[in-house]
Amino acid sequence: MRATPIIRTGVENPGGRDFAQERRVARVVSAAAVPIAPAPRSRKARLRAALAVTLIVLVLEVVGGFVSGSLSLVADANHMLADVAAMTLAYAATMLAGRAPTSRHTFGLARAEVLAAFVNAQLLLLVCGWLLFETLRRFRDPSEIRLGVMIPVAVLGLAANLISLAILAPDRRSSLNVRAAYLEVLMDSAGSLGVLAAGFGIARTGWTWLDPLVSGLIAVLVFPRAVNLLRQSAHILLEGTPVEIDVDLLRGEILDLPGVEECHDLHFWTLSSGSHSASVHIRAASEGESGHVLEEVQALLLDRAGVEHATIQVESGPERECRTAPDHA
């Protein structure tokens, strides 16, 4: 499925309709068509495999945590539950993102992965709050811990997390959604290490307070990463400018193009991980240069900002004020 970028020109010409200009725009649109590719099958397969491994160990950690009386093991299981939710959302969002655009969802459902990452971040913050609450409660009311159950289950949990990390690693930089799941599993691996350290420490010293201490440290470790993920996904959902795009610099480069007199109403946003879009109004020096200006701006946005979908309105004629967006930047 190929999706054609919407490259629109509005030549403000009170004298009549410019059919030659429309034909030039049609040629640019056809030449600039960019495929919106669904997520690779390998990504879906990795998410399924990691989800299966995590589900199995989740059950083991829940049972082992309650049998052994270890809060840190239950905390790790609770974090693993967040991993399961993250990977389930990631898989569902990946499936949705691969759907073709429709008349109702003209961009498709590619942003579903960002929405899933946003939900995952909030889930992580809730887990952090629960862990801190339980940590304080256990310090006040310590309980007996059965190390013979706690340590072996923690070893299995760590092994499962390392397997899941290896499965998800290839896609963690190309997808915000998979990165969210990867971060959760990474933090859970640190939690499993902490549970093991607490288990061996209690076996050696008898200090049962090590168990809730590790639980609190897991929460402190996860919190800033969850906040960062929440900020990233919220920035995209709020149509924020991609952090790697310098709007002022690009505005200057557009103005430096031959035939461009003015550039306004310039906006950038992210549809999904690595997929940027833009809209801009350009005033051409003359009506005859509109087609050339359109092509040059399209090429610059693609080359300098990685924008695959651009809405470009070219204005010309004696009227200087933009009627469609007079108050925009």
CATH of the domain at 267: 3.30.70.1350
Q: Could you tell me if 29 and 141 lie in one domain?
A: no
Q: Could you tell me if 31 and 105 lie in one domain?
A: no
Of 202, 237, 272, the last residue of a domain is 237
> Domain for residue 320, yes or no?
no
Question: Helix crossing, 71-97 with 147-168: angle to 10°?
Answer: 20
Q: Could you tell me if 21 and 85 lie in one domain?
A: no
Residue 110 has φ and ψ, to the nearest 5°, of -65, -30
Q: Per residue, what are the HEC states of the chain?
A: CEECCCCCCCCCCCCCCCHHHHHHHHHHHHHCCEECCCCCHHHHHHHHHHHHHHHHHHHHHHHHHHHHCCHHHHHHHHHHHHHHHHHHHHHHHHHHHCCCCCCCCCCCCCCHHHHHHHHHHHHHHHHHHHHHHHHHHHHHCCCCCCHHHHHHHHHHHHHHHHHHHHHHHHHCCCCHHHHHHHHHHHHHHHHHHHHHHHHHHHHHHCCCCHHHHHHHHHHHHHHHHHHHHHHHHHHHHCCCCCCCCCHHHHHHHHHCCCCEEEEEEEEEEEEECCEEEEEEEEEECCHHHHHHHHHHHHHHHHHHHCEEEEEEEEECCCCCCCCCCCCCC
> Domain for residue 321, yes or no?
no
pLDDT of res. 328 = 57
Q: Are 57 and 160 in contact (CB under 8 A)?
A: yes
Q: Could you tell me if 81 and 203 lie in one domain?
A: yes
Tens-place pLDDT, residues 82-115? 777 777 777 776 776 667 777 887 777 777 778 8
Of 237, 254, 273, the last residue of a domain is 237
> Domain for residue 185, yes or no?
yes
Q: Could you tell me if 21 and 117 lie in one domain?
A: no
Which residues, listed in sequence order, are joined to residue 276 by a DSSP beta bridge?
270, 307
How many angstroms separate the CA atoms of 301 and 260, rounded?
14
Residue 202 has φ and ψ, to the nearest 5°, of -65, -40
The enclosing domain of 125 has a CATH number of 1.20.1510.10
- Fill in the amino acid letter for 310: A
Q: Could you tell me if 52 and 29 lie in one domain?
A: no
How many domains, the chain?
2
> Domain for residue 255, yes or no?
yes
Tell me if the pTM is above 0.75.
no
pLDDT of res. 5 = 40
How many angstroms separate the CA atoms of 242 and 240, rounded?
6
Q: Could you tell me if 106 and 194 lie in one domain?
A: yes
> Domain for residue 327, yes or no?
no
> Domain for residue 198, yes or no?
yes
Per-residue pLDDT in tens (0 to 9) along the chain, 329 residues: 334 343 343 434 444 444 344 333 333 333 333 333 444 567 778 888 888 888 888 888 888 877 877 777 777 777 677 777 777 777 776 776 667 777 887 777 777 778 877 887 888 788 788 878 888 888 887 777 788 888 888 888 888 888 888 888 887 777 766 777 787 788 778 778 888 888 888 888 888 888 888 888 878 877 887 888 889 889 988 988 888 889 999 999 999 999 898 898 899 998 876 688 899 999 888 877 788 889 999 999 988 888 888 889 988 766 666 655 555 55
pLDDT of res. 266 = 92
| Both tokens assigned to 154 | 């923690």
Q: Could you tell me if 78 and 118 lie in one domain?
A: yes
Neighbours of 14 (CB within 10 A): 7
Of 219, 237, 255, the last residue of a domain is 237
pLDDT of res. 322 = 62
Q: Could you tell me if 173 and 188 lie in one domain?
A: yes
> Domain for residue 11, yes or no?
yes
> Domain for residue 323, yes or no?
no
Q: Could you tell me if 124 and 262 lie in one domain?
A: no
Q: Could you tell me if 11 and 97 lie in one domain?
A: no
Angle, CA of 117, 118 and 120, to the nearest 5°: 60
Domain that holds residue 161: 41-237
Tens-place pLDDT, residues 49-81? 888 888 888 888 888 877 877 777 777 777 677
Q: Could you tell me if 78 and 176 lie in one domain?
A: yes
